[in-house]
Structure 1
C-alpha cells in the first residue's frame, strides 16, 4: 500500500499511523507516477485538486485555468491528500469512508 502525500501534512501522518503497512511517498520529492496520477484523475476528477492549498492560492488565473493533470504534474503539492493506493484501488482523503474501507477505524 502506498500513501501519496507530504511528510509534513498532519492528515497524512494520521493516515500513516493508522496504516502501519503503508509506505509514504512524498509527492514533493518523489512525485506521483504518471499512471497513478492519471488513474486518480479518472476516478476523482477535479476533486483531486486541493483548491484550498497555499500552492493554489499562489497561482495566477492563467495557471489555474490549465488542465488539472498538467497542474498536478508541475505542482504535486496541489493534490488533495492523502491519495492511498491499495493494489489497483485508490482512495482520496482521510474521511470516515476511507478509514472504514481500509479497516482503519
Structure 2
C-alpha cells in the first residue's frame, strides 16, 4: 500500500502523525508542501472528495493574518487559490492511502485505517 502524508515538518500535529505511523510500522512518503508546493490538480481532487471547508484551516496563523476582507465570503475557487498560494492554510496532515484521504490526526482513526499496524 502506498501511503503519502502531506504537510510541513515542524507542525506538532504532523510530528504526532508521523510518530504514530513510524511506531506502528506503516511505511510512508512525506510530501512537504511548504518546500515542494502542491499541484493544483491534487488539491482539486481533494476538494472534490472532501470539500474545501474540510481542507481550509481557518484557525491557521496564515489564514488569520489575512486582511478581514480576504477572510470573508470565501467560496471553493477562493479557498483553492488561498491554499495553493499558501499551503500552510491546508489542515494537517492529509494522509493519502489506498484510495482514501484522512485530514487531521487522531490515533483512533489511524488505528482504524491501519488495522493490525
Which TM-score tier does this pair reach, normalised by the shorter chain? 0.7 to 0.9
1:86 and 2:97 correspond: yes
Q: 1:57 aligns with which of 47, 51, 64?
A: 64
C-alpha contact 1:92 1:98 (8 A) present in aligned 2: no
Task: Specify the structure having the higher radius of gyration (Cα).
Answer: 2
Q: CA RMSD in A?
A: 1.9
* 1:7-18 correspondence to structure 2 within 5 Å: 7-18=9-20
Structure 1: gaps of 5 or more residues: none
TM-score, normalising length: structure 1: 0.86
TM-score, normalising length: structure 2: 0.78
Q: Which has the higher contact order (CA 8 A, sep 6+)?
A: 2
* 1:31-42 correspondence to structure 2 within 5 Å: 31-42=37-48
| Partner SS state of residue 62, structure 1 | helix
* 1:89-104 correspondence to structure 2 within 5 Å: 89-95=100-106, 96-103=108-115
Partner of 1:69: 80
